[in-house]
Amino acid sequence: MSDSESSRRRTPSAASAAARPRRARAAAAAEGKAPRARRSGLTRAEVETVFARFAAADPEPKGELDYVNPFTLLVAVVLSAQATDAGVNKATKALFAAADTPQKMVALGEDRVREMIRTIGLYRTKAKNVIALSERLVAEHGGAVPAERAALEALPGVGRKTANVVLNIAFGEPTIAVDTHLFRVGNRTGLASGATPLAVEEALLRVVPAAYRRHAHHWLILQGRYVCKARRPECWRCPIADLCRFEAKTPPPAGAMPLRPYR
């Protein structure tokens, strides 16, 4: 066999090489493993510029759920699943006035909680979870919201995204909660591509500069909610339009004001 023939047999085709990442992801999924986070499609300097612009436009971004302490924050985030923040805030105004601690929530009871949050989607299941997590907080944590991920995720109705929000807002941890808005922004802009929320989260944790990590998830959620919208992104007022890898930029409507941050 000639050297050229041997080389051709040893060298995989381009199609075979391209298929490797897909096979790796499929194998990881079959084994129950999370797909590995991909690197950002932006350069390190571009990522730095993205967050510098967000910080200049909104130095202290805030979440839009109303709360008065870590417990009410936890409850509000649990209630916000498949619901709008505005809808949750309307329901929790009276709820938190009546019960702003786990002990008071348990005393209020599931029937009363269910009645007070009935305007929120999945309110029956959520009322059950609110009472169950309140009971768990009283029994296992002395009525305090734990500052550890594992303890938070052990509570009824609390998953990784909810734990990330509570850790970030209540305890100042540089976590990144990937909701549908942030997932879209990460993939659309090229900032952090991933097939799952966890993959996008891990990619962001790898590329977001440490100085901006504390507020990163708020900036990106607000960007997705008010600018980088799902059906018609308002690219003409996006502060990072020149860096974004999304090619099908939406043209501005007549008389539109450019570069108005978020709201």
Is the pLDDT at 24 greater than 50? The verdict is no
Cα(38)–Cα(48) distance, integer angstroms: 18
Four-residue CA torsion sign, 41, 45, 46, 47: positive
Which residues have C-beta within 8 Å of that of residue 256, sequence separation ≥ 6?
Answer: 236, 237
What is 70-171's CATH number, 1.10.20.140, 1.10.10.10, 1.10.340.30, 2.120.10.70? 1.10.340.30
Task: State the pLDDT at residue 258.
Answer: 59
What positions carry a catalytic annotation? 161, 179
Give the CA angle between residues 69, 72, 76 to the nearest 5°. Answer: 135
Per-residue pLDDT band for 254 (boundaries 50, 70, 90) equals confident
Task: State the pLDDT at residue 248.
Answer: 84
pLDDT tens track for 171-228: 999 999 999 999 999 999 999 999 999 999 999 999 999 999 999 999 999 999 999 9
Which residues have C-beta within 8 Å of that of residue 180, sequence separation ≥ 6?
Answer: 224, 230
Q: What mean pLDDT is predicted for residues 4-23?
A: 41
Q: Helices 197-207 and 180-189 meet at what angle, rounded to 10?
A: 60
Task: Tell me the binding residues for [4Fe-4S] cluster.
Answer: 228, 235, 238, 244
What are the domain boundaries of the chain? 70-171
Task: State the pLDDT at residue 13.
Answer: 39
Task: State the pLDDT at residue 183.
Answer: 96
Instruction: Answer with the residue of higher pLDDT: 11 or 27.
Output: 27
Per-residue pLDDT band for 39 (boundaries 50, 70, 90) equals low
Q: What mean pLDDT is predicted for residues 129-148?
A: 98
Task: State the pLDDT at residue 205.
Answer: 96
